[in-house]
Structure 1
Amino acid sequence: MSPGPATVLLAAVAAAGFLIDSIWALATMALILVVVCMRAPVDRRFIYISGALFSALGVIVISPFTWSSGGGTLLWEGPTLPVLGPLDISTDEIRIAVVNGLRLAVVALAFSAYALRVDHDRLVSAAGFARRSALAVALATRLVPTLERDAAGLAESVRGRGVELHGARGYATLLSPLVAGSLERATGLAEAMEARGFGRSGATRAPRPSWTFADYAALGGAVVLVGVAALWL
């Protein structure tokens, strides 16, 4: 599938995640996105999938204690705390927490699939309009995998010098060299873009393969998905 239709389809999935309030529909979408992300390389997919799922789990676990819907069957009544108020759990609060957690999982996994599975270089080259915006989005998306690769290299270099990094405090020492490396990479990228005449008129493009049936089906599926999600409300 071409990167353009794939990006549109993933954006439609994320938009549908905000519109749909059915637990089973959201769970199905999240499961499909996990399967898509699992096709990425093993060394890259773990941080994306685990980050999305653990964040969604945190919303599901914490949300019922911090928000009161005033409806449903009361399952547990706890103490009343300052600022937070009464800590109680009802069936309505659990359902809302699950829906919000699954929504977060769908949006995060859709972004993960975009970061892991979409060829951002082809996406930028295929952008016939809003070329600068497409480039900015692609560069921002590639920031996380680049920082991940740089952090792994720095940790390996430090390990080779006999220093083992443990815990958040140990890996926090990599923050300064990562920021410095990002600034240096940004300067080099800007110089390379200027040397190649980015933004000037008369730019040429490499030939692109024509769209296939899967690309047109992805665009049609994106429109149908958002339409169904809007009607679901």
Structure 2
Amino acid sequence: MAAVLLTRNPFYLAILLAAAGFLFATLARRAAHEGGDATKRPMTWGMVVRLALLLWGFAILFNALTVHVGERVLFVLPPSWPLIGGPITLEALIYGFITGLNFVALILIFAIYNSALGPQTVLRMIPGFAYQTGVAVSIAIAFIPQTLIAWNDIREAQRLRGHRVKGLSDFLPLFVSLLSYGLDRAIQLAESMDARGFGGRPLPASRRETWLIRGSAILGLFLLLMGLATKSYYRAASWPGLVMLTLGAALMGLSLWRSGRRTWRTRYRRWRWRPRDAALAAGSGLFLAAIILLTWFASQTLFYYPYPPYPLLPDFNPLLGLLFILPLLPALLLPPAPRSDIRDLRSEAD
């Protein structure tokens, strides 16, 4: 996701989008053979991705019709037309294309993240100091797929009862059922959170522990601010700013880690760390570090702006393009399908 936010070059974005699309298709095929909740997650997020593709086209059209800037004029609309009247330029068309490309890539990566993990896994991975925020985020993430799944189930049940949608008034029974489902789920969620002791008081801390948490947080924030100011206003002294940012981030991490240890968490079954997990973590860390270093020391490499005075054709480095293929790594490191699924695939082929 950081690569999408820090990149405007359409060539690198297209490579990243192709790799993410292949990974999402791989997860969807695998989930189709596993069944259960794993099947519904890619299906529901696939609907969101299709909506993002529709908005991509809208972004291209909107930017081309409303931004009349550029040297390469494609055609001219009557100036008397409000808002859209004037020259339609190639630069505006390309800028809308890149903006939509960024948006679709973000939605697709978000869909991959939620299709592979699910809200329960995301909640378990959140550190202890942010458990309340993590619960709110996991509920918000699960809202769209759960609503879409409930909508499809309600429509299927109404269709079996002979209900046919002929006008807007026919959607009323569907929305009433969907609202009732949402209220029931909210009540069940509140009861389960209360039964598990959500929002209880953290473990008591000594005076020394309290001062350590507060002091490291204050000093870390001060170093972060000083590092940002040094990097922004004294560009010749970039290394001191980088050192202060690193130390500030380390102190903030120490404060949050010590604060998270005061939260009591129960784990019923611990995850196993496999070699493919280590390879995936190393590849993701390498990709993120490379993007951050490029943004910090060679920001023009990932920058692209189609309007004058910048060139219309963006730069492209083949070695850097290979770096953006790294998101394919999870698809290559997926474990083989269970033997029962393999037998089912062979029987379907026969």
Q: TM-score, normalised by structure 1?
A: 0.82
| Contact 1:33–1:110 (8 Å) recurs in 2 | yes
Amino acid at match of 2:155: A
**Structure with higher RCO (Cα < 8 A, 6+ apart):** 1
Q: Percent identity?
A: 21
| 2:218 is the counterpart of 1:219 | no
Distance 2:104 2:157 in 1: 34
Distance 1:169 1:215 in 2: 51
Question: Which residue in the other structure is 1:8 paired with?
Answer: none
Q: 1:203 aligns with which of 265, 274, 293?
A: 265
Question: Which residue in the other structure is 2:16 paired with?
Answer: 29
Match of 1:174, SS? helix
| Contact 1:154–1:174 (8 Å) recurs in 2 | yes
Amino acid at match of 1:185: R
Please list, as runs of the form range in 1=range in 2, the aligned pairs for 1:128-207 lying within 5 A after superposition.
128-129=127-128, 130-165=130-165, 170-171=170-171, 173-200=173-200, 201=202, 202-206=264-268, 207=270
Which stretch of the first structure deviates more once superposed, 98-107 or 108-117? 108-117
Question: Which residue in the other structure is 2:218 paired with?
Answer: none
Distance 1:226 1:36, change over 3 A: farther
| Contact 2:45–2:145 (8 Å) recurs in 1 | no
Amino acid at match of 1:88: P
Superimposed CA distance per residue, residues 175-232 of structure 1 (whole angstroms, 9 cap, x where no aligned partner):
3322232122112101111111123343322323235231233233223234435622
Distance 2:89 2:169 in 1: 38
| Contact 1:37–1:49 (8 Å) recurs in 2 | no
Question: Which residue in the other structure is 1:51 paired with?
Answer: 51
- RMSD of aligned alpha carbons: 2.4
Match of 2:165, SS? coil
Amino acid at match of 1:203: R
Residue 59 of structure 1: CA displacement?
Answer: 0.9
Match of 2:197, SS? coil
Distance 1:123 1:103, change over 3 A: same
Rg: which structure is higher? 2
Residue 146 of structure 1: CA displacement?
Answer: 0.7
Question: Which residue in the other structure is 2:294 paired with?
Answer: 228
Residue 81 of structure 1: CA displacement?
Answer: 4.4
Question: Which residue in the other structure is 2:88 paired with?
Answer: 89
Question: Which residue in the other structure is 1:62 paired with?
Answer: 62
Distance 2:53 2:105 in 1: 9
Distance 1:79 1:87 in 2: 6
Question: What is the total number of aligned residue pairs between the two structures?
Answer: 219
Amino acid at match of 1:204: T
Match of 1:212, SS? helix
Match of 2:79, SS? strand
Unaligned ranges ≥5, structure 2: 29-38, 203-263, 304-350
Superimposed CA distance per residue, residues 134-162 of structure 1 (whole angstroms, 9 cap, x where no aligned partner):
22111111111111111111111111111
Amino acid at match of 1:215: A
Which stretch of the first structure deviates more once superposed, 207-216 or 168-177? 168-177
Match of 2:85, SS? strand
Residue 45 of structure 1: CA displacement?
Answer: 4.7
Superimposed CA distance per residue, residues 7-31 of structure 1 (whole angstroms, 9 cap, x where no aligned partner):
xxxx32xxx3233221111122222
Distance 1:45 1:185, change over 3 A: closer
Residue 48 of structure 1: CA displacement?
Answer: 2.5
| Contact 2:49–2:104 (8 Å) recurs in 1 | no
| Contact 1:73–1:90 (8 Å) recurs in 2 | yes
Question: Which residue in the other structure is 2:258 paired with?
Answer: none
Distance 2:55 2:169 in 1: 21
Which stretch of the first structure deviates more once superposed, 84-93 or 34-43? 34-43
| Contact 1:72–1:93 (8 Å) recurs in 2 | no
Question: Which residue in the other structure is 2:102 paired with?
Answer: 103
Question: Which residue in the other structure is 2:330 paired with?
Answer: none
Superimposed CA distance per residue, residues 100-143 of structure 1 (whole angstroms, 9 cap, x where no aligned partner):
11111111212222222223212211222311212211111111
Superimposed CA distance per residue, residues 69-94 of structure 1 (whole angstroms, 9 cap, x where no aligned partner):
2x221110011245415242112111
Question: Which residue in the other structure is 2:121 paired with?
Answer: 122
